[in-house]
Amino acid sequence: MLNEHMQTVFDYPDALTPGVTHYCPGCTHGIIHRLIAETIDELGIREKTIGVAPVGCSVFIYNYLDTDFAEAAHGRAPAMATGIKRTLPDRIVFTYQGDGDLAAIGTAEIIHAAARGENLTVIFANNAIYGMTGGQMAPTTLPGMRTTSSPSGRDVEVQGWPLKMSELLAQMPGASYIARRSVHDPGNINKTKKAIKTAFQVQLHQAGFAMVEVLSSCPTNWNVSPKDALTFIKEQMLPYYPLGDYKIGDAIKTLV
């Protein structure tokens, strides 16, 4: 009798492959994967979605999403995605990139994709460090933050200031939707899901370039516990990388 009054409120996404991820304990890549998978399911686009993953921890996403994928050279995901989308304009094409990829070797690629207004969706996982290659300083590493290549902390007088990619790309006329979100607590995870869905809807409406920057954790290379890594995002990353919508184009205001 009890089952008659119960309903499913939470289920495993069809677009997410079964199994346990290989990511380090406390890494939030898995959370972002699930949000993308839920979005793909809800929009009913799995059969026509193509993801592009470059070098870095982000490359392993193709093991966990049940969609077509292409692997790009380091930093070149926007260029490859541009080619795929222009060749197959009916497909939904997205890139999944880390900060060492998107904001370092791939800076020119992402800037020009936004400037051209390519009809792409970009999910940008920013954990302020190089994860796969050993915890070196990234373009988004915070001032004073210690890494294997800045053991005394990032010195902005020598190494420059961290790049704020959402603010930078929001200036591009071809960008329709630029947002920064986080996955450090349930409330912000829900907000991130909504932003990711909006970014895919922008492409469905052929409204141009869309990017969601997601502040994420890397406990292993930050040398902290998974719990403390979430606190680090809240207390250290959010003040430098404020959350919010950095650009909402006129053509998509009804979607947000």
Confidence (pLDDT) at 2: 55
Residue type, 237: M
Confidence (pLDDT) at 163: 97
Lay out the sheet containing 68-71: strands in order across.
68-71, 49-53, 92-98, 121-126, 209-215, 175-182, 244-248
Whole-angstrom distance, CA of residue 189 vs CA of residue 181: 8
pLDDT in tens, 118-140: 999 999 999 999 988 889 999 99
Confidence (pLDDT) at 73: 95
Pairing of strands 49-53, 68-71: parallel
Task: Kindly list the structural domains of the chain, giving each domain's residue range(s) and its CATH number in brackets, ordered by start.
Answer: 22-252 (3.40.50.970)
Instruction: Taking the CA atoms of 74, 168, 177 and 13 in sequence, report the sign of the dihedral they define.
Output: positive
| SS3 at position 178 | strand
**Contact (Cβ atoms closer than 8 angstroms) between residue 73 and residue 56:** no
Whole-angstrom distance, CA of residue 192 vs CA of residue 213: 9
Name residues whose C-beta falls within 8 Å of residue 218's C-beta, 6 or more positions apart in sequence. 24, 27, 127, 128, 129, 131, 135, 229
Confidence (pLDDT) at 3: 67
Residue type, 212: V
pLDDT in tens, 13-52: 999 999 889 999 999 999 999 999 999 999 999 999 999 9
The ranges of the chain with pLDDT < 50 are: 1
Whole-angstrom distance, CA of residue 137 vs CA of residue 147: 5
